[in-house]
């Protein structure tokens, strides 16, 4: 895991190492183990390295393939061993044991199609000297970031926004992204960011920069494949395939040369992942597996009872912390700086505490459960999708069992159906959130994605595809990646192995919500391996922050919001009271972010 940066001057200006170093210094946290630069006339690369696979200096970057290619790479190619064997049969020889060398050799062998061979997470740039181009790519689901800025004189890219700001000082807010964040509660639905002019390469896309004409092309190289054969499997066969594919994914993600562990909330996903990973790890290393948990001092939000239960049952090395309000207050600005863009809630601070503790334990690789709810229909809002896809009789039976599926009332299940599957209702809610925003800004709200998402509830595969590529997953991945890399921790996500995702999305949806239980496939495989108290629990919490204790209402918060110049211009009148806690945090976050980054409307 690393940080990458690059500058291309279109007017042939010589790149200076000083400029590249300013960029890499701003993300030294991403790569504390090594630093490197490459400059050839108007092209410059910078790199910060966090050593995970082959920690020797020979694997440092920029990495050279003779005089043909230069590579800077952030991520991990989990199937590098298999690819290396395939390449050796073709005559390739290797000097290191790194996935970096396998990546660049793969490009030499398969050119731009090499990314279709990779199973992993990545953002990289390859200077192809012979063809006078820069080949850039981002992994299928956008786990690793790739930001860029371009104007008439230059093209800049980096793993974070802050390094780009070192070269191009941008203070103009992207108004549409800001309004979408406030009203629609989405920030990743386009390739734009909160900073006007800074974009991100979407997951599953390549960017090819032509150094002769100084033009670039962006194109998609991957989409989720639906497997008809898998969709026809029986429940028993589907459950076995699910378990086999998850085990394969976890095994691949345990490949590293440093200390490794797993996040454990006590929920279904993290508990089962810990059980599978610990078993594999003990067989390989003959020692206990490490897990890190965060508890809440508010009993309403606390899952530590379950995480301790799982740890004791599996005989794990558990590290459990309970962050205080004082610690949260200390972190408010730091997390806003590391996230770089406004974010919707305090759970991100709980995750940040988890990553900080992981760093203290000298664990450099952490497994986490992102993606499980999206691919297994684990959120209560999926009641709407179920109701859109079944007959009246089945829907009636389903509604009667909703309390068992998602721990919500029948009445709330009906409300979810009306809100999530009827676009007019969702649009009214969005407009209500934006009612005090000035008309000229409110008109910037784009309802297209929300309309498509709402309509997709009639086809669960389409709904999941939209959530994975454009709504839910991109936001969660952005928050986690920046939280983890702030402390030099590489997170690996077994549930987002692309083959596993394709398997889960192809499995009959009636096996995901089955016999009065949500995420039934997971529970079925957990049964007998973990305590029933964990396997058959209903309430979903996760690393939920004790907002009432950490973030009580105060005039200080309201004053901060009303002193924001951006919000003064955005809203038609002074904000007197905010009943919605989520909205209160959003606006406060914007006010602090504006001050830290010097932003203006």
Which residues are catalytically annotated? 2
DSSP bridge partners of 137: 124, 206
Sheet of 133-138, strand order? 63-65, 69-77, 120-128, 133-138, 205-210, 215-220
Longest dimension (CA), the chain: 71
- Rounded-to-integer distance, Cα 62 and Cα 81, Å: 21
Q: Which residue bears the tokens 């086999």?
A: 244
Cα distance between residue 178 and residue 429, in whole Å? 17
Q: How far is CA 176 from CA 172, 187, 188, 431, 447, in A?
A: 12, 10, 12, 14, 12
SS3 for 395-457 is: HHHHHHHHHHHHCCCHHHHHHHHHHHHCHHHHHHHHHHHCCCECHHHHCCCCCHHHHHHHHHH
Three-class secondary structure of residue 292 per DSSP: strand
Residue 53 contacts residue 196 (beta carbons within 8 Å): no
Burial of 176 by CB count in 10 Å (0-12 exposed, 13-18 middle, 19+ buried)?
A: middle
Are the beta carbons of 420 and 384 closer than 8 angstroms?
A: yes
Sign of CA dihedral 136, 138, 144, 145: positive
The answer to whether 33 touches 50, Cβ cutoff 8 Å, is yes
Helix/strand/coil for 39: strand
């Amino acid at each position: 895991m690393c940080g990458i940066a690059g500058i291309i001057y279109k007017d042939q200006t010589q790149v200076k190492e000083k400029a590249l170093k300013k960029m890499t210094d701003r993300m030294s946290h991403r790569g504390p183990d090594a630093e490197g630069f490459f400059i050839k006339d108007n092209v410059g690369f910078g790199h910060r390295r966090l050593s995970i696979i082959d920690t020797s200096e020979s694997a440092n970057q920029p990495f050279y393939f003779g005089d043909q290619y230069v590579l800077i790479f952030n991520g991990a190619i989990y199937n590098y061993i298999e690819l290396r064997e395939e390449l050796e049969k073709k005559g390739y020889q290797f000097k290191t044991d790194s996935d970096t060398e396998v990546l660049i050799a793969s490009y030499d062998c398969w050119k731009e199609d090499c990314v279709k061979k990779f199973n992993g997470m990545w953002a990289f740039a390859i200077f192809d000297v012979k063809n006078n181009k820069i080949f850039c790519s981002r992994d299928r689901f956008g786990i690793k970031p790739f930001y860029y800025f371009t104007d008439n004189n230059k093209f800049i890219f980096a793993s974070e926004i802050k390094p780009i700001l070192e070269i191009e000082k941008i203070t103009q807010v992207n108004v549409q992204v800001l309004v979408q964040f406030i009203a629609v509660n989405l920030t990743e639905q386009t390739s734009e960011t909160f900073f006007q002019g800074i974009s991100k390469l979407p997951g599953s896309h390549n960017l090819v920069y032509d150094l002769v004409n100084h033009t670039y092309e962006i194109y998609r190289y991957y989409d989720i494949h639906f497997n008809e054969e898998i969709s026809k499997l029986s429940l028993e066969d589907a459950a076995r395939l699910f378990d086999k594919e998850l085990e394969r994914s976890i095994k691949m993600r345990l490949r590293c040369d440093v200390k490794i562990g797993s996040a454990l909330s006590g929920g279904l996903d993290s508990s089962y992942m810990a059980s599978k990973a610990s078993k594999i790890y003990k067989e390989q290393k003959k020692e206990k597996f490490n897990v890190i948990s965060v508890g809440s001092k508010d009993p309403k939000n606390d899952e530590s009872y379950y995480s301790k239960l799982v740890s004791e049952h599996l005989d794990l090395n558990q590290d459990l912390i309970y962050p205080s309000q004082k610690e949260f207050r200390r972190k408010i600005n730091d997390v806003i700086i590391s996230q770089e863009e406004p974010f919707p809630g305090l759970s991100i601070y709980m995750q940040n505490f988890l990553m900080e503790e992981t760093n203290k334990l000298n664990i450099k690789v952490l497994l986490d459960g992102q993606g499980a709810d999206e691919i297994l229909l684990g959120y209560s809002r999926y009641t709407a999708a179920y109701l859109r896809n079944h007959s009246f009789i089945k829907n009636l039976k389903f509604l009667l069992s909703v309390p068992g599926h998602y721990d919500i009332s029948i009445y709330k299940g009906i409300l979810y159906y009306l809100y999530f599957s009827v676009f007019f209702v969702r649009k009214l809610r969005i407009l209500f959130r934006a009612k005090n925003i000035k008309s000229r800004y409110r008109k910037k709200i784009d309802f297209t994605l929300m309309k498509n998402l709402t309509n997709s509830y009639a086809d669960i595969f389409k709904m999941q595809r939209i959530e994975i590529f454009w709504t839910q997953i991109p936001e969660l991945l952005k928050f986690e990646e920046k939280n983890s890399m702030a402390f030099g921790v590489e997170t690996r996500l077994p549930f987002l192995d692309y083959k596993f995702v394709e398997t889960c999305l192809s499995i009959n949806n009636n096996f995901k919500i089955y016999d009065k239980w949500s995420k039934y496939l997971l529970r079925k495989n957990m049964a007998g391996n973990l305590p029933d108290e964990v396997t058959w629990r209903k309430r979903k919490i996760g690393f939920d922050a004790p907002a009432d204790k950490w973030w009580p209402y105060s005039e200080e918060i309201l004053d901060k919001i009303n002193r924001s110049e951006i919000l003064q211009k955005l809203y038609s009148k002074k904000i007197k009271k905010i009943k919605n806690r989520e909205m209160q945090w959003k606006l406060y976050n914007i006010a602090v972010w504006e001050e830290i980054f010097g932003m203006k409307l």
